[in-house]
């Protein structure tokens, strides 16, 4: 595979995408914060099934981190990421610095309603404003036909869809299934913070969610099932459970048991916060 073109300025990104468009090529984008793992590679694969060219952005976006969060220690490994992009067949890596994305005087914030309320927002109040603002910028800078987001960050996927609908951004959003290890652990850049024993505990998150989703699908009481799941996570070794919640699959409004839903959870292992979600298939 050829190494991807690497650009760190919006001007160079636009010039390259313009050349591709003039040649009649379709462009897909995969926004990332780097520390690429197999989950990201699956997004690139899906992008390349649709598009002639795939742009991957690598930008650890400061506006989606609270001052107490892991912005400084978030894994940064550009050389390794570029190797992975080459192997995956991505065509361009957009690696802007903070000053390119947020020049002095930057003063705009996009706030999406609907699916952003509750869940992550209850614990990370500014997170989705930061995500929506940077994703809107990336879309306007790149102008892709498609953009691929993982279902692992399910609420983010719903928020990005809402953003594109509401602002008429001409990008088709593709949701990609979560990539898991052989024992069900969702791939996440934050897994790098975990030791072997913690990884074993982390794997229980998906086990407990799947079990609870099956119970909900067969008519279990939602409040009871989610509190049993919360208790089971604590028993498994999670020190703190932020939420286990059933939601309607598209709007993330409270789940109605006659509809397909999503069971979402966030829980802490030491100083690492993990999220996961599974489908609730109504019968
Ligand atoms: O999911 C992520 O990695 C980030 O939230 C995103 C979408 C790249 C925006 O910074």
- Give 140-153 pLDDT, tens digit per residue: 999 999 999 999 99
Question: Domain residues of the chain, as ranges?
Answer: 5-176, 189-280
Distance 271 CA to ligand 1 centre (A): 20
Q: Is the CB of 28 under 6 A from ligand 1?
A: no
Instruction: Taking residues 3-22, report their average pLDDT.
Output: 98
Q: What's the pLDDT score for residue 51?
A: 98
Is position 40 annotated as part of the catalytic site? yes
Is the pLDDT at 64 greater than 90? The verdict is yes
pLDDT reported for residue 282 = 78
* Ligand 1 neighbourhood includes 31 CB (under 6 angstroms): yes
pLDDT of amino acid 217: 95
* pLDDT greater than 80 at residue 103: yes
Q: What pLDDT does 259 receive?
A: 87
What average pLDDT does this structure show over 54-71? 96
Count the Cβ atoms, other than its own, within 10 Å of residue 67. Answer: 6
Predicted pLDDT at 1: 81
Strands 240-248, 272-280: pairing is unpaired
pLDDT in tens, 150-208: 999 999 999 999 999 999 999 999 999 999 999 999 999 999 999 999 999 999 999 99
Residue located nearest, by CA, to atom 6 of ligand 1: 32
Give the pLDDT of residue 174.
98
What pLDDT score was predicted for residue 257? 86
Cα separation of 30 and 40, whole Å? 8
Structure-token pair, residue 149:
């987001």
Residue 258 alpha carbon to ligand 1 centre in Å: 32
Q: Whose CA is nearest to atom 3 of ligand 1?
A: 32
List 17, 31, 40, 204, catalytic entry: 40
Please tell me the pTM assigned to this model: 0.97
The pLDDT value recorded for residue 69 is: 93
Residues 206, 208: Cα–Cα separation, whole Å: 5
- Alpha carbon separation from 119 to 30, 71, 139, 218 (Å, rounded): 24, 21, 25, 24
Q: Which of 40, 61, 62 to mutate to test the pocket of ligand 1 (most atoms within 8 A of CB)?
A: 61
Return the pLDDT at 258: 86
One CATH from 2.60.40.10, 3.90.650.10, 3.30.70.260, 3.40.50.620 for 5-176: 3.40.50.620
User: How close is the Cα of 220 to the center of ligand 1, in Å?
Assistant: 34
What per-residue confidence (pLDDT) applies to 95? 98
- Asked whether 135 lines ligand 1 (CB < 6 A), one says yes
Token pair in block for residue 180: 């898991």
Rounded-to-5 percentages of helix, strand, coil across the chain: 45, 20, 35
Binding residue numbers for ATP: 33-40, 150-153, 179, 187-190
Q: Please, what is the average pLDDT of the chain? A: 97
Span 189-280 CATH architecture? 2-Layer Sandwich (3.30)
Residue 34 near ligand 1, beta carbon < 6 Å = no
Q: What phi and psi values does residue 149 have, to the nearest 5 degrees? A: -125, 145
């Amino acid at each position: 595979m050829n190494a991807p073109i690497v650009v760190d300025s919006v001007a160079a990104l636009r010039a390259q995408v313009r050349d591709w468009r003039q040649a009649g090529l379709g462009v897909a984008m995969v926004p990332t914060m780097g520390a690429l793992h197999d989950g990201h590679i699956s997004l690139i694969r899906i992008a390349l099934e649709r598009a002639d060219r795939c742009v991957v952005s690598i930008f650890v976006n400061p506006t989606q981190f609270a001052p107490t969060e892991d912005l400084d220690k978030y894994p940064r490994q550009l050389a390794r990421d570029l190797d992975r992009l080459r192997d995956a067949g991505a065509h361009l890596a957009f690696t802007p610095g903070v000053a390119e994305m947020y020049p002095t005087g930057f003063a705009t914030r996009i706030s999406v309603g609907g699916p952003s309320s509750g869940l992550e927002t209850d614990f990370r109040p500014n997170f989705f404003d930061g995500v929506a603002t940077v994703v809107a910028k990336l879309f306007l800078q790149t102008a892709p036909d498609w953009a691929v987001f993982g279902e692992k960050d399910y609420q983010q996927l719903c928020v990005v869809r809402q953003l594109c609908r509401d602002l008429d951004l001409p990008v088709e959003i593709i949701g990609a299934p979560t990539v898991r290890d052989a024992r069900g652990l969702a791939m996440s850049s934050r897994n790098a913070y975990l030791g072997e024993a913690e990884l074993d505990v982390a794997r229980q998150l998906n086990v407990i969610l799947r079990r609870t989703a099956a119970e909900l699908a067969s008519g279990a009481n939602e409040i009871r099932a989610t509190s049993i799941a919360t208790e089971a996570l604590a028993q498994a070794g999670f020190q703190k459970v932020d939420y286990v919640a059933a939601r309607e699959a598209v709007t993330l409004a409270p789940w109605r048991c006659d509809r397909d839903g999503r069971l979402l959870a966030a829980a802490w292992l030491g100083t690492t916060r993990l999220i996961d979600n599974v489908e609730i298939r109504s019968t």
